[in-house]
Amino acid sequence: MVADWLLVAVGLALLAVGGDQFVVGAGRLAAVLRVRPTVVGALIGGLGASLPELLVSSIASVRNEPEIAVGNLVGSVIANVSLALAMAALIAPVRVDSRTVRREAPISVGAVLLFAIVLVGGLSRAEGVLLAVGIVAAIAVMTVSARSSPRGDELAVEVGRFFGQGAEQRPLAETARSLGGLGAMLVGAEVLVRSASGLAHRAGISEAFVGLTVVAVGTTAPLIAIAVQAARRGNHDLVAGSVLGSNLFIALAGGAVVAFIGGGPETSVDLVAVWAMVVIAAAAWGFMARGSLLTRWEAALLLLAYGVVLPFAAR
């Protein structure tokens, strides 16, 4: 079991470092390609932040570990809000000024709700098609919204500030950064799935619970690092946009991938965790919608919810 924990740590480290470098590299390359900063913040940031979850759940599905695959998706949505967003808000209350982020919030929460509904009884391939259609529609709507936002939108300002200037002079270096980060995540995902499965068997707990906890926290680690770093710089809209975008891709794209690779009754998870995912995602949206601010007290409630809910999930 000690060896399993060591491999879990190695997998988590590779995912954290690789995910962080991929997001930074992808964001800077988008600037080279003249992608609008609001599109980078709303879509590319969310996709990059959710890539560790998508890779881990895909590998788990291929390895016929459906409980880890689905548990990771559900647990990551919970951790994105209760850990990444909450920790950022504890550093500095998260104020949402961007019109782009405000438009993204209900789409993200709706995606999580749809994912929760189709999860009941396991994911079928027909439900995978529904989720795939949903992610295409969501990307289209968010792209139009991001492109129609004024150039002075706060999210655009923060994206430029966070990713920095001068990437145009080193596109090859940023390409290498992105590819290196992706490679590290692939290796980390494989190591993490193997070790998490072995840990569950030896400890006598369900793979779904390991996916909800250890694996989900590990795949969320890059987003936690980005959110904390952005919050320290005062990039609050970037924090909220990354969390909302990540949840969107995890729920729709992640759910579709798992359904297509290994759909069936096994692709289910404890209902306590599923509905906690919906309630926590909706609560964060409600907090931010009221006065466009997530306070430290509200962040503390989200952290408390994480600690209270997960022990009741089936082991």
79 vs 185, more confident: 79
Over pLDDT 90: what percentage of the chain?
Answer: 20
126 vs 46, more confident: 126
Instruction: Please give the pLDDT value at position 150.
Output: 65
Model confidence at 191, pLDDT cuts 50, 70, 90, reads confident
Instruction: Show the tokens assigned to 296.
Output: 């430290």
- Domain for residue 142, yes or no? yes
Instruction: Please give the pLDDT value at position 164.
Output: 61
Instruction: Show the tokens assigned to 48.
Output: 């990059």
Please give the tally of structural domains in the chain.
Answer: 1
Is the pTM higher than 0.75? The answer reads: yes
Residue 263 reports pLDDT greater than 90: no
- CATH number, residue 156: 1.20.1420.30
- Domain for residue 169, yes or no? no
Q: Is 44 in contact with 27 (CB distance < 8 Å)?
A: yes
Q: Which residues contact 1 (CB under 8 A, 6 or more apart)?
A: 199, 202, 203
- Domain for residue 171, yes or no? no
Residue 168 reports pLDDT greater than 60: no
Taking CA atoms, 180 is separated from 5, 49, 60, 184, in Å, by: 25, 15, 22, 6
| Residues in a beta bridge with 221 | none
- Mean per-residue pLDDT, 105-113: 91
Q: Is 149 in contact with 156 (CB distance < 8 Å)?
A: yes
Instruction: Please give the pLDDT value at position 165.
Output: 54
117 vs 214, more confident: 117
Residue 92 reports pLDDT greater than 70: yes
Instruction: Show the tokens assigned to 262.
Output: 């290994």
Residue 80 reports pLDDT greater than 60: yes
Instruction: Please give the pLDDT value at position 255.
Output: 93
- Domain for residue 275, yes or no? yes
Instruction: Please give the pLDDT value at position 258.
Output: 92
- Domain for residue 167, yes or no? no
Instruction: Please give the pLDDT value at position 24.
Output: 77
Structural domain range at position 142:
38-162+206-312
Q: Which residues contact 14 (CB under 8 A, 6 or more apart)?
A: 184, 185, 187, 188, 191
Centre a 10 Å sphere on the Cβ of residue 280 and count the other Cβ atoms it contains.
24
Residue 130 reports pLDDT greater than 90: yes
Instruction: Please give the pLDDT value at position 156.
Output: 66
Instruction: Please give the pLDDT value at position 197.
Output: 78
Residue 294 φ/ψ, nearest 5 degrees: -105, 110
- Mean per-residue pLDDT, 150-158: 67
153 vs 206, more confident: 206
- Domain for residue 30, yes or no? no
Residue 122 reports pLDDT greater than 60: yes
Residue 169 reports pLDDT greater than 60: no
Model confidence at 76, pLDDT cuts 50, 70, 90, reads very high
Centre a 10 Å sphere on the Cβ of residue 130 and count the other Cβ atoms it contains.
18
- Domain for residue 44, yes or no? yes
Q: What is the pLDDT of residues 8-42, one digit of tens each?
A: 888 888 887 887 788 777 777 776 666 666 666 66
Average pLDDT, the chain: 82
Q: What is the pLDDT of residues 47-75, one digit of tens each?
A: 878 888 999 999 988 988 888 899 999 99
Q: Is 45 in contact with 162 (CB distance < 8 Å)?
A: no
Q: What is the pLDDT of residues 251-261, one digit of tens each?
A: 999 999 999 99
- Domain for residue 15, yes or no? no
Instruction: Please give the pLDDT value at position 133.
Output: 95
